[in-house]
A and B are shown apart, each in its own frame.
Chain A
Amino acid sequence: KNQVEQSPQSLIILEGKNCTLQCNYTVSPFSNLRWYKQDTGRGPVSLTIMTFSENTKSNGRYTATLDADTKQSSLHITASQLSDSASYICVASGYSTLTFGKGTMLLVSP
């Protein structure tokens, strides 16, 4: 069964600090790994998409890594801002559907 596990479930950090969110997936066949940011009550917004041949991809202060051998991905946020407070969802794509993780709820505190 395809699964995506994210950790931690929730995280509180001080503004300006860095943090790293983790994602483990078991999706077969595997096509690509996506990270989304979802503000409360809003639709998810795509941050990065990586295929199995890509190890890292950046989008501003967001940097995602992918290890297709260990089936692990991480999302690193640098110099956090209050607006980074949101749910971060890891999504593993097979050949026909997406498998969503439950998300990590990040709160950036002033």
Chain B
Amino acid sequence: DTEVTQTPKHLVMGMTNKKSLKCEQHMGHRAMYWYKQKAKKPPELMFVYSYEKLSINESVPSRFSPECPNSSLLNLHLHALQPEDSALYLCASSQVGQEGSTDTQYFGPGTRLTVL
């Protein structure tokens, strides 16, 4: 199984709502990532979890809160978002995410988020 799954596929939320994005992989990967991708732009790294611990936070606003309950699951909790946060949110995983590693990052299909 080389699949990363993400739910929901689409999400529309108001600026006062609280919602969560979910990501799951069963490849035994110990590194998991959240990316944000705007239209016609490359993905931008948001967070990296390595062995269930947050290892990289790319200065993301606190209205985005990641959580890694176990080695297979990664959540992104959303609260008080702005319309400019509308984007495709991609989850990815890789074997270990070590320095200089050549292990492939496997991406999920993404969640298309619209903030009204």
- Residue numbers of A with Cβ under 8 A of B are 31-32, 34, 36, 41-46, 49, 51, 89, 93, 95-98, 100-103, 105
Taken together as a complex, chains A and B put the C-alpha atoms of A24 and B104 apart, in Å, by 21
- Count A/B pairs, Cβ under 8 Å: 47
Interface residues of B (CB under 8 A from A): 4, 40-45, 56, 88, 90, 92, 99-102, 104-110, 112
Chain A residues whose C-beta falls within 8 Å of the C-beta of B92 in the assembled complex: 43
Interface SS of chain B:
loop
Chain A residue numbers with a CB within 8 Å of B109 are: 42-43
Closest to A51 in B: B102
CA–CA, A100 to B42, complex, Å? 6
Known: A51-B102, A95-B100, A96-B99. A43 touches B42 (CB 8 A): no
Please tell me if the beta carbons of A41 and B56 are within 8 angstroms of each other in the complex: no
Q: How many angstroms from the CA of A44 to the CA of B104 in the assembled complex?
A: 11
Query: What residues of B have a CB within 8 angstroms of the CB of A97 in the complex?
Result: 45, 56
Docked pose: A74 CA to B105 CA in angstroms? 20
Contact of A98 with B90 at beta-carbon distance under 8 Å, contacts A31-B100, A32-B102, A43-B108 already known: no
With A31-B102, A95-B100, A97-B56 already in contact, the answer to whether A44 and B45 are too (CB < 8 A) is no
Given known pairs A31-B100, A101-B42, the reply for A45 and B56 (CB within 8 Å) is no
Contacting pair A95 B99 (CB below 8 A): yes
